[in-house]
Amino acid sequence: MIIEPKVREYICTTAHPQGCAESVRNQADYACKQGMVNGTKKALIIGCSTGYGLASRICALENCGADTLGVMFERQANGRRTATSGWYNTAEFHRLAAEKGAYAKTVNGDAFSKEIKDKAIELIKKDLGKVDLVVYSLAAPRRTDSEGKIWSSCLKTTGEAFTEKSLDLRNNEITEKTVEPATEEEVLSTVKVMGGEDWADWIDALKAADVLTENAVTVAYSYIGPELTYPIYYHGTIGTAKQHLQKTMSEINQAHPDVCAVISVNKGLVTQASAAIPVVPLYFAILYKVMKKAGNHENCIQQIARLFTQKLYTPTGFRTDENGFIRMDDYELTPEIQEEVKTKEILYKDILKEREEMIERVSGYDKEIYRLESQKDGKKQKKKELLDYMWENYEVTYHQAKQRLELNETESLLRIKETINRLKKQIKDLGPVNINAIEDYKEVSERYEFMQKQHEDIVTAEAHLAGLMEE
């Protein structure tokens, strides 16, 4: 099968197995270079096939030498359709783990469901016994809970409507978007999908099945961002869900004292979900440029490798802030980076304003050009009608009329109009044209010739009779 890129909006819907394999190998090479730490030996990665989840699984292997069980929801190749990138990523990770002599299996299905939880627990009991690390890295637009109800997340504010400039990744155009406030039901639904409820369900199920080691660690990934994005993100429906996730961390720690739950607040990352959030794509575009220039930009594997080797597994334990969060967004939120981002954002908006004004002026010019072109077409049509009128009524062409005008340049336009009116009156005084005049003339001419001949015959006969009488 020949694989060609197919893009829907700004998302590529096809994946190449060799490209995915190369990506996994490159990430593994980077993680390996960061060295080994005394960390997890048996890890469960929930959401293991792409992004932070895949990076976590790679680091568990490369930086800790761990056996891993993964949970994903991916599609294998089917006829004309390629498999998803996550499917190919996971297949290559399995090969990588086998080369290193490490255990690696993956459960494919809906991680929100009890069925997949039970399958994962069964495999842990059978193959691993217990796990000492649970990474929760799920990102999904909807969730079916244990009662079969479907909850769908939404991207809205929780107060007033929010309007701001954003970057459309489909065409790299700056656009203005307005996000309406969410209803209470929409807020609840988003929390159900993106909050901490399912994370807690996983830990409760694993703990009840006795497949967690004593002092097992569970890490969930989150994002807070700078104040610039608060109106739509942290103070919106997604932010409400993230706050619920943070509350869940405390609840897990209270419910299970021998389990250590922690949230890793990661750096901003361009994903399918974040690309749809107003402000965020433009902020990320500027942020990436600034951080790359500063030399501290990190992609997924770079962040997670630093998490495993410098923040999660250290001789003194977790390195957290006052809220108990591991801050992997520390580089992003440094005052120097944020100050330059704000400066560039103001510059970008000024450029954008000038661009919009220029577009408005060009639009005005286009309208004026269209108006003038319409007038020009109308003048051309009028000229043609006048030329046709001159020919039909006077059998005079434009050039003939121009020559006559040049011969009479000394005559004023008023005098010419007077002459035209006088001639028109004389023509009118002639009366209507007898269209049968030619036929009438022919008939009269023939009768005249006949009568003329008769007259000549009579004159001749009269002369002859007169001659006879004289004799």
Q: Which residues are catalytic?
A: 233
Nearest to 352 by CA among 176, 169, 163: 176
CA-to-CA separations, 198 to 56, 95, 348, 417, in angstroms, rounded: 19, 30, 40, 95
Instruction: Give the strands of the sheet with 104-108, arranged side by side.
Output: 104-108, 67-72, 42-46, 131-136, 212-222, 259-265, 325-327
DSSP state at residue 126: I
Distance of CA 270 to the CA centre of its chain: 13
How far is C-alpha 149 from the geometric centre of its chain's CA atoms?
31
Listed in sequence order, the residues at least 6 apart from 106 whose beta carbon sits closer than 8 Å to its beta carbon are: 48, 49, 69, 70, 71, 72, 90, 94
To 5 degrees, how large is the angle CA 131–CA 137–CA 138? 120
d(CA 45, CA 70): 5
Range list of H helices, 40-131? 51-62, 85-99, 114-123
Q: What is the CA radius of gyration of the chain?
A: 46
Q: Which residues contact 8 (CB under 8 A, 6 or more apart)?
A: none
Separation of alpha carbons 192 and 189, rounded Å: 5
Other beta carbons within 10 Å of 396:
14
CA of residue 66 relative to chain centroid, distance: 40
Within 10 angstroms of residue 352's Cβ, the number of other Cβ atoms is: 14
Is-contact 414 421, C-beta < 8 A?
Answer: no
